[in-house]
Structure 1
Amino acid sequence: MELYFMGTNAGVPSLERNVTSLALRLFDERRSFWLFDCGEGTQHQILRSPLKLSKLEKIFISHLHGDHLFGLPGLISSRAYQGGNTPLTIYGPTGLKQYIKTSLNISESRIDYQLDIVEHVGGHLFEDETFRVESALLDHRIASYGYRIVEKDLPGKLDSVLLSSHGIKPGPLYGKLKRGESVEAPDGVIIKPEEVLGSPKQGRIVTILGDTRPCPAAISLSEGADAMVHESTFLDELAQTAYDYHHSTAKQAAEAAEAAGAKQLYLTHFSSRYKSEDQLQQLLVEARQVFANSELAREHILYPVNRADGEE
């Protein structure tokens, strides 16, 4: 599981950075990736990335401001031409379906795959045997949501030496044991899962927040997160400006991460006024004064989401 940023600028693109888009790469877990927000130019950014649109499974839109969704119609239309024929589900606030349908209808775009659009007002959005996704309303000028992605715990490692002593080799019987089923070994011994399975691996938690002022929902969504992505539009000297425009400072993002007990914070959504590396470093310095495990999100870099034991 890795984070891959394709847009870290706020409002409009700049020569240095594109507008908001972030991929959660789940190649090992699902052989796919999920996209969070889709600012203008996102499909161009994907072409420069290790991602393939044919592997895109879900899109989560935080809110309906243009810098977070103007790239959506083009990306949806292009996906089929790049081998994307599997179903695609898009989640987002009320109004998202009208925006997508209107854009595709007026442009007479043909979608040759199953496209499902799920409008929501927060809560439990998705769950299967590997992941659960929850959402909550943040504090922004329009309805803006954060997303909490929870990986289910993984079965512990099998004791291959003990299993081999009973004549059990890697194969179907391994799968049954990992699913919690007892099996009969070739020597006639009944092997129970608890006898050969180590402790489960704790699932990881990733929180990706839309535009927001500091608010309780940002903290609750990020509780115990292994990776937390929080907008950091301004330096703290512009805290009043951030409040007026319903945004956050780097210091406020760090305060949220500290309050939530997050393990790693990624700062993103930088104002265009911060063009130089020195200016960006000021944002990082402010954040690290509050929360040491803060990083500036850089575009086109893979950031592994590590487990508590340090494994990816």
Structure 2
Amino acid sequence: MLRLTFLGTASSRPTVSRNVPALALKREGRTFLLDCGEGTQRQMMRYGVGFSLGDIFITHLHSDHYLGLAGLLRTMSLQGREEPLRIWAPRGAGEALRTLRDLGGDRLAFEAPVRELDAGEAVEGDGYRLVAFATDHTRASIGYALIEDPRPGRFDVEAALALGVPEGPLFGRLHRGESVELDDGRRIRPADLVGPPRPGRKLIYTGDTRPSPGTVEIARQADLLVHEATFSEDEARRARETGHSTAAGAARVAAEADVRRLVLTHVSARYAERPGRLIEEARAIFPRTELARDGWSVEVRFVDAESGGQAS
């Protein structure tokens, strides 16, 4: 399972229906948090995300993207957390985040090291990596790309049985790429029964950014691009001046990168209650566009699954 839950979809300040940025990403039982705006811990409780995080990834040091960190860490500590929690951020952001982490003078009940990343560096996990990439904002900022390892090809069960391979452990060994020997002395190779490797999934989260070639490159043929869309096209000049994107600009990135799906977030308060203009502008360029709302979850499925990702 690869599921995103949008905890905050507003830009700069909260509105009645939208909190400031935070996105929970759950993969195979492991949960990550991307950005942590003010009040994120309450959004996590409200939408059933839970606090069993292993890593928090901050895109940049504008207050709407990280001020919730102090409250979230205190909440976890008061609940008795003991497991370490890693905090990742762009190069140069470490000092400010350590100050925020230690705010209030209460010692946390767990370790929470802050580590800095340069664009191109990756945090490695079991079967995936989270890659930092450069974005184009008004201060040092990075986005994050979750890129899964390729999966083994499909295993042909019928062909295996026809060759006399008994069901059980030998199936697993062949699928893992090992040759096996049968009781009659025949040697069966994986290439006889296993198809070519299949791609893993790729998910892109931009944080705040103008449309940029770097985003297009990292997002190429991604399963899902989560791109900020602070303004409509009639505010394109203001978007450029403030280091943000319009909905149409995000759609052009998605089209050029040939992604499977685009989700817009980071909506200005002026559109928060009536975001129709944003989605219309984006879909005119890239029809496979959706607009996130607080509490909305979306599952990212494998490209070779029977159907595409489903939202709930």
With the length of structure 1 as denominator, give the TM-score of the two structures.
Answer: 0.89
Task: Give the corresponding residue for 1:201.
Answer: 198
Q: Which amino acid aligns with 1:183?
A: V
1:145-294 aligned at under 5 Å gives the runs 145-163=142-160, 166=164, 168-171=166-169, 173-185=170-182, 188-276=185-273, 279-294=274-289
Query: Residue 82 of structure 1: CA displacement?
Result: 4.8
Contact map agreement 2:69 2:100 (CA 8 A) in 1: no
Query: Residue 164 of structure 1: CA displacement?
Result: 5.2
Pick closer, same or farther for the CA change 1:88–1:193 going to 2, 3 Å. farther
Contact map agreement 2:41 2:68 (CA 8 A) in 1: yes
Task: Give the corresponding residue for 1:66.
Answer: 63
The 1-side partners of 2:83 and 2:216 are apart by 35
- Structure 1 unpaired stretches of 5+: none
Contact map agreement 2:17 2:294 (CA 8 A) in 1: no
* Aligned residue among 37, 40, 43 for 2:38: 40
Contact map agreement 1:10 1:20 (CA 8 A) in 2: yes
Pick closer, same or farther for the CA change 1:281–1:113 going to 2, 3 Å. same
Q: Which amino acid aligns with 1:184?
A: E
Pick closer, same or farther for the CA change 1:87–1:280 going to 2, 3 Å. same
1:22-33 aligned at under 5 Å gives the runs 22-27=23-28, 31-33=29-31
Query: Residue 185 of structure 1: CA displacement?
Result: 4.1
Contact map agreement 2:133 2:144 (CA 8 A) in 1: yes
Number of aligned pairs?
A: 305
Pick closer, same or farther for the CA change 1:217–1:86 going to 2, 3 Å. same
Pick closer, same or farther for the CA change 1:231–1:191 going to 2, 3 Å. same
The 2-side partners of 1:102 and 1:89 are apart by 15
Q: Output one character per residue of 1:136-193: Cα deviation in whole Å (capped at 9) or x when no partner.
A: 221111111111211111112333345556463344x444333322233456543322
Contact map agreement 1:73 1:100 (CA 8 A) in 2: no
The 1-side partners of 2:191 and 2:134 are apart by 41
Q: Which amino acid aligns with 2:226?
A: V
Pick closer, same or farther for the CA change 1:302–1:188 going to 2, 3 Å. farther
Contact map agreement 2:181 2:187 (CA 8 A) in 1: yes
Secondary structure of the corresponding residue to residue 23 of structure 1: strand
Secondary structure of the corresponding residue to residue 115 of structure 1: coil
Q: Which amino acid aligns with 1:51?
A: V
Pick closer, same or farther for the CA change 1:9–1:291 going to 2, 3 Å. same
The answer to which of 227-236 and 295-304 deviates more is: 295-304
The 2-side partners of 1:309 and 1:261 are apart by 17
- Structure 2 unpaired stretches of 5+: none
Contact map agreement 1:147 1:221 (CA 8 A) in 2: no
1:309 and 2:304 correspond? yes
% of aligned pairs identical? 38
Q: Output one character per residue of 1:49-97: Cα deviation in whole Å (capped at 9) or x when no partner.
A: 232212x122211101110001112222333555754442221113432
Pick closer, same or farther for the CA change 1:257–1:184 going to 2, 3 Å. same
The answer to which of 154-163 and 295-304 deviates more is: 154-163
Task: Give the corresponding residue for 1:124.
Answer: 121
The 2-side partners of 1:190 and 1:80 are apart by 56
The answer to which of 73-82 and 14-23 deviates more is: 73-82
Contact map agreement 1:157 1:197 (CA 8 A) in 2: yes
Pick closer, same or farther for the CA change 1:174–1:139 going to 2, 3 Å. same
Secondary structure of the corresponding residue to residue 307 of structure 1: coil
Q: Output one character per residue of 1:77-122: Cα deviation in whole Å (capped at 9) or x when no partner.
A: 3335557544422211134322332233342333344433220221
The 2-side partners of 1:85 and 1:190 are apart by 50
